């Protein structure tokens, strides 16, 4: 049967016939089509060699694929560098401007502020959020191992408009670059338990706006006559120069419950093992952040929701 | 038994593959030189081909100093006279595609492959290319002769002229395509000064080659082998669709025209003159019935009608007719054709969607994302503050100052951060942050609806609203 590759209707057959008349025709595809197929098959190999798929180690260099002639040897690091260059090209426009600007000047430029708050958000997450919480929402520590010592905020919430050391852009910048450490003396030896109880009740009442109510008169008297007023001010509104808290608002640096207030008064802040711990590190000395990054953070924190307009700037 | 020669000799295999010579699968083996004959459908084709002038000229009109219709892919903006369509409105494109697909389906189900025969660029460009071929090289007979002739000065001259003309059209096609995507006049300037970007050159070269090869050489092979629509449309016809059809009842048995009365009486109207095959741009024989290769261009109708006129028989041996008509079933009216109504229904839905979209595009689009961490902040005066990130997309062609207002929300609320009008840049979304502060005593729900509204300072009619939430503590 092999000698009988006769054509049926002009088409050559393979010589196989089933069921009497079912023949297997040999219809050659067009030549251009076959050439295309062959060329594609060759291209697959060439492409596979050029594409960064095959790991190559030559003369101590590691790379992938042979690449196009003149395109160099592909590595993931090189690609990353190229990508970073692209990003840097976009950023450099702003970054160059930032270098010589004060944080206040940055705030005056809305487009720059938008850029800075965006890159500031990343910096904040990396460097600040551990204590201040994501987006400056504060980190509340309740219960657990440190229940007695550090109940309340681990670090102040930054979205509100209550500032221990001042909420103008320059003050915030000062805080980020130089760090802060508030101090409150312990009163376990200077005040009696009853006095601490009275003054704590008065502090709680003044935050509710009831500081002048007669039932809290005893506490008010303790506040005025002991060393409380010398730091928190006669009106209890605090002094930003030394970082003493405003006791008449509803925002609490530490635990705002009666127990928590009493604990703060008894053991103080930053004055011993039982005292509340409240230290903002010095980020300039830490050397981790550049001056430009600190500026960005200052603007970011200012824009979180509680930044105070500078009285001097506002006056202009 | 297993000897195929047996089968061949007995006529089975040959019989089975008898039609082999009519197979058009390998049409590429020989060039089709279709004859041009005047007639109604020929004239129709010239007119429908004219619609492609829009493709060549449509990118040049200006509107307010800018290109009226510009698909600015680089900047991700589509300009259509006054309307700017940004990627956010992409859903309208899908409706447009749906509309076009459904129009194609509806037309095909009623009158077969009208698009293929009269409007398709492959058909139209091939028509123009063969027209040039005819002007330069002559009638089909002369063309075949020229192709077979040995190379001579005349042949080289004719071929050069033809290919030059083809290439010129291809270049013009490439340019005309490109200018829909970049400013037409800038493109010409860059082209003439050889300053096009790489992508510009690549597009141009691809289109020149594509036009030259597809319309110059591949021609009907494109319809047979490459085009998916040829296959899709083939299955959309049904027994009620009108197609160019050879009236077998009238035509058969076909045979050469005879003068003798008795011979003529036995014979059908078809005189087997092959005019219908000779004029066919895809080289099919319509007398074998509807087939893949038939683009329903109607040229065979013209050819057959002119022959019928000459031999004194009525026209319409090949005519637009449905299968129902051919097989003697009652012919349904167009309105009795339920498929058409389904298609028209979908077309109307898509169309109304597009019209709604275009009229409700709005020049400003406001999106507001409330801050989620923290949801709200207690301020030192006891009030509750929420933070919102605004994104204002400005679709106009000018930067614009907007004011921010809030409706609903909490009584006594105060918007912070929008005391001054805010600049929103044109053609993109400008982000900014807004705070809303409200006295705690007025907050009665954990979540209170609030609606923000931005409004152009100089154009109060340009505005956009966004409904979101004001979060507060548990009351």
CATH of the domain at A142: 1.10.760.10
Which residue is closest to B371 within chain A, CA to CA? A135
Going by their DSSP bridges, the two strands B429-438 and B463-471 should be labelled as unpaired
pLDDT reported for residue B381: 82
Chain B positions touching A25 (Cβ under 8 A) are 17
Burial class (CB in 10 A: 0-12, 13-18, 19+), A199: buried
Q: How confident is the model at residue B19 (pLDDT cuts 50, 70, 90)?
A: low
State both tokens at A45. Answer: 């190999």
| Domain coverage including residue A2 | 1-74
**Mean of the pLDDT values across residues B18-24?**
52
Residues B258 and B392 grouped into a single domain: no
Give me the residue from B7, B29, B371 closest to A23, CB to CB.
Answer: B7
Residue pair B356/B414 in contact (Cβ under 8 Å)? The answer is no
Residues B392 and B269 grouped into a single domain: no
Chain B positions touching A125 (Cβ under 8 A) are none
Q: How confident is the model at residue B438 (pLDDT cuts 50, 70, 90)?
A: very high
pLDDT reported for residue B293: 86
State the Cα–Cα distance between residues B342 and B106, nearest whole angstrom. 9
pLDDT reported for residue A316: 42
Write phi, then psi, for A249 (nearest 5 degrees). Answer: -105, 180
Where does a domain end: B308, B335, B361? B361
State the Cα–Cα distance between residues B469 and B245, nearest whole angstrom. 66
Residue pair B390/B366 in contact (Cβ under 8 Å)? The answer is yes
DSSP label at residue B235: T
Residues B340 and B432 grouped into a single domain: no
Chain B positions touching A110 (Cβ under 8 A) are 422-423, 432
| Domain coverage including residue B219 | 1-49+88-149+197-361
Give me the residue from B16, B374, B380 closest to A21, CB to CB.
Answer: B16
- Interface-testing mutation among A8, A18, A134, A306, with chain B (most B C-beta atoms within 10 A): A8
Of the ranges A16-20, A145-149, B28-32, B369-373, which is most confident? B369-373
Percent of chain B with pLDDT over 70: 92
Please indicate, yes or no, if residue A250 is contained in any of the structural domains.
Answer: yes
State both tokens at B408. Answer: 């609903």
Among A20-34, A147-161, B367-381, the least confident range: A147-161
Collapsing DSSP to helix, strand or coil, B439 comes out as: coil
Q: Tell whether the torsion through CA atoms of B301, B302, B305 and B311 is positive or negative.
A: negative
Summarised one tens digit per residue, pLDDT across range B310-354 is 988 899 999 999 989 988 888 888 888 888 888 989 999 999 999
The reply to whether residue B432 touches residue A160, judged by beta carbons under 8 angstroms, is no
**Mean of the pLDDT values across residues B451-463?**
91
The reply to whether residue B4 touches residue A305, judged by beta carbons under 8 angstroms, is no
Summarised one tens digit per residue, pLDDT across range A245-281 is 999 888 888 888 888 899 899 999 888 888 888 889 8
In DSSP terms, which residues pair with B471 in a beta bridge? B447
**Mean of the pLDDT values across residues B64-80?**
88
Residues B373 and B411 grouped into a single domain: yes
Residues A61 and A141 grouped into a single domain: no
State the Cα–Cα distance between residues B161 and B170, nearest whole angstrom. 14
Where does a domain end: B338, B361, B384? B361
Residue pair B384/B377 in contact (Cβ under 8 Å)? The answer is yes
Q: How many domains, chain B?
A: 2
The reply to whether residue A251 touches residue B378, judged by beta carbons under 8 angstroms, is yes
Residue pair B409/B448 in contact (Cβ under 8 Å)? The answer is yes
CB-based contacts of B383, cutoff 8 Å, min separation 6: B437, B438, B439, B440
Please indicate, yes or no, if residue A88 is contained in any of the structural domains.
Answer: no
**Mean of the pLDDT values across residues B195-200?**
92
Q: How many domains, chain A?
A: 2
Burial class (CB in 10 A: 0-12, 13-18, 19+), A52: middle
Residue pair A175/A168 in contact (Cβ under 8 Å)? The answer is no
Where does a domain end: B316, B343, B361? B361
State the Cα–Cα distance between residues A228 and A222, nearest whole angstrom. 8
List residues of chain B with CB under 8 Å from any CB of chain A.
1-8, 12-14, 16-18, 20-21, 26, 28-29, 371, 373-374, 377-382, 385, 387, 422-423, 431-433, 435
Of residues B156 and A62, more confidently modeled: B156
pLDDT reported for residue B31: 83
Please indicate, yes or no, if residue A113 is contained in any of the structural domains.
Answer: no
The number of angstroms, rounded, from the C-alpha of A227 to the middle of its chain's C-alpha atoms is 39
Chain B positions touching A157 (Cβ under 8 A) are 374, 377
Where does a domain end: A74, A98, A133? A74
Collapsing DSSP to helix, strand or coil, B336 comes out as: helix
Give the ranges where B360-441 is alpha helix by DSSP (H).
none
State the Cα–Cα distance between residues B220 and B295, nearest whole angstrom. 9
Summarised one tens digit per residue, pLDDT across range A63-110 is 888 877 777 778 888 889 999 999 999 999 999 999 899 999 998 888
Residues A300 and A190 grouped into a single domain: yes
Residue pair B143/B133 in contact (Cβ under 8 Å)? The answer is yes
Summarised one tens digit per residue, pLDDT across range B210-254 is 999 999 988 888 888 888 888 887 788 888 899 999 998 888 888
Residues A7 and A128 grouped into a single domain: no
Of residues A110 and B436, more confidently modeled: B436
ipTM field: 0.74
State both tokens at B100. Answer: 């076009």
Which residue is closest to B19 within chain A, CA to CA? A9
Helix (H) or strand (E) holding B377: strand B377-378
Burial class (CB in 10 A: 0-12, 13-18, 19+), B338: exposed
Residues A162 and A24 grouped into a single domain: no
pLDDT greater than 60 at residue A145: no
């Amino acid at each position: 049967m092999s000698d009988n590759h006769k054509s049926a209707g002009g088409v050559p057959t393979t010589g196989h016939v089933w069921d009497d008349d079912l023949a297997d025709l040999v219809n050659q595809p067009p030549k251009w089509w076959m050439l295309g197929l062959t060329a594609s098959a060759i291209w697959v190999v060439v492409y596979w060699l050029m594409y960064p798929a095959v790991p190559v180690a030559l003369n101590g260099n590691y790379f992938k694929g042979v690449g196009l002639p003149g395109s160099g040897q592909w590595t993931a690091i090189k690609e990353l560098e190229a990508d970073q260059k692209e990003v840097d090209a976009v950023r450099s426009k702003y970054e160059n401007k930032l270098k010589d600007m004060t944080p206040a000047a940055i705030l005056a430029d809305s487009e720059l502020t938008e850029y800075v708050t965006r890159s500031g958000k990343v910096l904040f997450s990396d460097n600040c959020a551990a204590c201040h919480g994501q987006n400056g929402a504060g980190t509340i520590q309740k219960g657990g191992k440190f229940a007695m010592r550090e109940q309340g905020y681990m670090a102040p919430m930054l979205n509100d408009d209550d500032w221990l050391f001042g909420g103008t852009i320059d003050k915030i910048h000062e805080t980020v670059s130089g760090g802060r450490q508030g101090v409150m003396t312990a009163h376990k030896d200077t005040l009696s338990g009853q006095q601490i109880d009275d003054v704590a009740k008065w502090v709680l009442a003044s935050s509710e706006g009831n500081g002048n109510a007669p039932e809290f008169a005893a506490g008010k008297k303790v506040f005025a006559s002991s060393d409380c007023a010398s730091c928190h001010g006669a009106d209890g509104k605090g002094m930003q120069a030394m970082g003493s808290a405003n006791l008449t608002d509803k925002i609490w640096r530490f635990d705002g419950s009666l127990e928590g207030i009493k604990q703060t008064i008894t053991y103080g802040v930053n004055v011993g093992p039982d005292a509340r711990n409240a230290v903002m590190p010095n980020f300039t000395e830490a050397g981790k952040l550049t001056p430009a990054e600190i500026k960005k953070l200052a603007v970011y924190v200012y824009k979180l929701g509680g930044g105070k307009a500078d009285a001097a700037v506002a006056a202009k | 038994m297993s000897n195929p020669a047996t089968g061949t000799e007995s006529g089975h295999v040959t019989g089975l593959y008898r039609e082999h010579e009519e197979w058009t699968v390998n049409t590429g083996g020989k060039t089709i030189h279709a004859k041009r004959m005047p007639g109604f459908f020929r004239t129709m084709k010239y007119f429908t081909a004219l619609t492609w002038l829009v493709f060549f000229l449509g990118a040049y009109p200006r509107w307010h100093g800018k290109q009226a219709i510009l698909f600015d892919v680089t900047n991700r903006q589509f300009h259509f006279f006054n309307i700017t369509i940004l990627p956010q409105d992409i859903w309208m494109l899908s409706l447009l595609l749906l509309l076009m697909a459904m129009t194609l389906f509806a037309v095909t189900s009623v009158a077969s492959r009208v698009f293929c025969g009269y409007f398709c660029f492959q058909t139209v460009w091939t028509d123009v290319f063969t027209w040039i071929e005819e002007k330069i090289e002559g009638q089909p007979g002369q063309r075949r002769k020229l192709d077979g002739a040995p190379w001579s000065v005349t042949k080289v001259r004719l071929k050069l002229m033809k290919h030059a003309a083809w290439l010129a059209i291809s270049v013009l096609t490439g340019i005309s395509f490109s200018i829909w995507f970049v400013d037409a006049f800038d493109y010409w300037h860059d082209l003439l000064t050889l300053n096009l970007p790489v992508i510009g050159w690549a597009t141009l070269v691809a289109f020149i080659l594509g036009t030259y090869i597809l319309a110059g050489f591949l021609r009907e092979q494109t319809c047979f082998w490459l085009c998916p629509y040829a296959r899709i449309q083939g299955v959309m016809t049904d027994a009620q669709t009108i197609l160019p059809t050879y009236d077998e009842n009238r035509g058969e048995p076909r045979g050469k025209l005879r003068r003798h009365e008795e011979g003529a009486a036995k014979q059908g109207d078809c005189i087997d003159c092959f005019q219908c095959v000779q004029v066919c741009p895809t080289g099919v024989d319509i007398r074998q019935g509807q087939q893949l290769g038939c683009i329903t261009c109607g040229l065979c109708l013209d050819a057959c009608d002119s022959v019928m006129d000459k031999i004194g028989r009525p026209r319409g041996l090949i005519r637009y007719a449905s299968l129902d008509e051919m097989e003697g079933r009652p012919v349904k009216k167009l309105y009795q054709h339920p498929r058409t109504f389904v298609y028209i229904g979908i077309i109307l839905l898509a169309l109304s969607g597009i019209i709604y979209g275009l009229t409700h595009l709005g020049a400003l689009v406001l999106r507001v994302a409330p801050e989620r961490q923290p949801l709200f902040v207690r301020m030192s005066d006891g009030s509750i503050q929420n933070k919102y990130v605004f994104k204002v997309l400005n679709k106009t062609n000018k930067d614009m100052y907007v004011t921010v207002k809030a409706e609903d929300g909490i009584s006594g609320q105060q918007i912070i951060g929008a005391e001054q009008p805010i600049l929103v840049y044109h053609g993109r979304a400008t982000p900014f942050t807004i705070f809303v502060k409200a006295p705690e005593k007025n907050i009665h729900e954990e979540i209170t609806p609030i609606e923000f509204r931005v409004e152009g300072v100089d154009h109060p009619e340009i505005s956009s609203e966004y409904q979101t939430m004001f979060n507060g503590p548990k009351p």
